[in-house]
Structures are given as structure tokens and as C-alpha cells.
Chain A
């Protein structure tokens, strides 16, 4: 059974930093691209960042580029998101999601339960 378990969320002041982790199990982690997707309170889903299996290619949404860094450790079956220079608008539940190759691009097939990040101004 595929499991994705996020951790590391919490309350942080604007301008501060936080590191999120996602522990993966039930599949060969090193074979899949992975993502972070967030959801602000009462709002919709927003893709944040993607990293391919080998870490050779990394992508960010414009809203976090230059402030967030995605990484992974395939030996530990873990995905990370280092968040710096946090802003109030970064307040959201952050989901870890696995990518599955589709006919014309990847899509998210499994999601974790999310971890809440609250940035106080």
C-alpha cells in the first residue's frame, strides 16, 4: 500500500524558515517523480514544486521560486521542502504527492494527508 506521511509543519513568523519532510513507503520511491502541492485555508489546490527521480530536474511555481527548495533522499525514501523567507500567503496545508507518467505528462496519483504551515505576520 502506497503511503506518504508529511511532517514538519507548524507556526512560524514571517521571514522565517521551515523544513517539511515526506516519508514514503509501499512503492519504489527512487523510481518516481515527487511533488509538493499546497492548499491555503478555504482555497483551492496549488502545485508548488516537482523533482524527478534522480533529482536532475527540479521545477517550481513562480510564487515560491527563489525561496523554496525541494530535495529528496532516495536511500531514506524521503522528500523534503526547505521553505525560507516565509510570507503570510504561504500559510497552507502542504501535501506530498507522487507523480505518475500519463499520456501527455505526469499527474498526481497518491497524496499524503498534509501538514499545516501557518505563517504569522
Chain B
């Protein structure tokens, strides 16, 4: 079965840049999407189609993808950005919809 791999945790100080990676064999051919989930809340889409930002998402959130790795970058991370972040994509056939294991971002 297809898998997306994320680091379990990332920690930065406020104002620093946080980078969360997501690796998957189909990412050269498939878009990556990123969801933010704060404690006790539903996920929120923060990046779609590798780098596009939905309306209402702060500009400090950006995305990129190269080869088998997609990256979510939070430039000037703030305390309120503390959350779990999940990448999402599909396998090359498009039939298997998969989330990465999630990355806990700590900002302190």
C-alpha cells in the first residue's frame, strides 16, 4: 500500500522558519496537500496543489515539491501555529487516498 512519510515532530522558536517534509514515491506525479489540525479541532486545509494557499491562510504558509518530497514551510512561525500537520496525496493510480502520519509542530 502507498505511504507518505513525515517526521513525527518539528520544533522551532517563535519567528523562526519551520519546515515539514513529506516523502512519497508518487509525489513527482501527484500533488501534495497540507492540513493543519489544532488540538481538539477538525483539520483545516492550508496548502493545495503543492504550493497554492486557500483564502484566509496567512502568507507565512507556503508549499513546494521536488521529486519525491513535498515541503510545508512556515516563515516566521508563531505560537498559534502549534498544531499537527498532515500531508495528503494519492498513489500514482489515483485510487488510494493517503495521509502522512502527521508532524507535531512545537513553537516555543
CB pair B31 A45 closer than 8 Å: no
List 4 A-B pairs, minimum CB-CB distance, nearest first: A111-B42, A47-B97, A45-B99, A44-B102
CB of A32 closer than 8 Å to a CB of B: no
Nearest Cβ distance between residue A70 and chain B, in whole angstroms? 13
CB pair A44 B101 closer than 8 Å: yes
Instruction: Report how far A102 CA is from B44 CA in the complex, Å.
Output: 16
Within 8 A of B (CB), among A22-71: 44-47, 50, 59, 62
CB pair B90 A105 closer than 8 Å: yes
For this complex, into which size category does the number of interface residues on chain B fall? 20 to 34
CB pair B48 A107 closer than 8 Å: yes
Query: Which B residue sits closest to A96, measured CB to CB?
Result: B42
CB of B45 closer than 8 Å to a CB of A: yes
Query: Which A residue sits closest to B95, measured CB to CB?
Result: A59
CB of A9 closer than 8 Å to a CB of B: no
- Within the complex, which residue of A47, A50, A59, A112 is in contact with B42, where a contact is CB–CB below 8 Å? A112
* A to B contact number (C-beta, < 8 Å): 56
Within 8 A of B (CB), among A85-108: 95, 102-105, 107-108
Query: Which A residue sits closest to B98, measured CB to CB?
Result: A47
For this complex, into which size category does the number of interface residues on chain A fall? 10 to 19
Within 8 A of A (CB), among B37-89: 37, 41-45, 48-49, 54, 86, 88
Nearest Cβ distance between residue A97 and chain B, in whole angstroms? 8
CB pair A103 B49 closer than 8 Å: yes
CB of B24 closer than 8 Å to a CB of A: no
Instruction: Report how far A46 CA is from B54 CA in the complex, Å.
Output: 22
CB pair B48 A44 closer than 8 Å: no
CB of B30 closer than 8 Å to a CB of A: yes
CB pair A111 B31 closer than 8 Å: no
Nearest Cβ distance between residue B80 and chain A, in whole angstroms? 19
CB pair A108 B45 closer than 8 Å: yes
Residues in B neighbouring A111, C-beta threshold 8 A: 42-44
Q: List 14 A-B contacts (CB under 8 A).
A: A44-B101, A45-B37, A45-B88, A47-B99, A95-B43, A102-B33, A102-B48, A103-B31, A104-B29, A107-B88, A108-B35, A108-B45, A109-B54, A111-B42
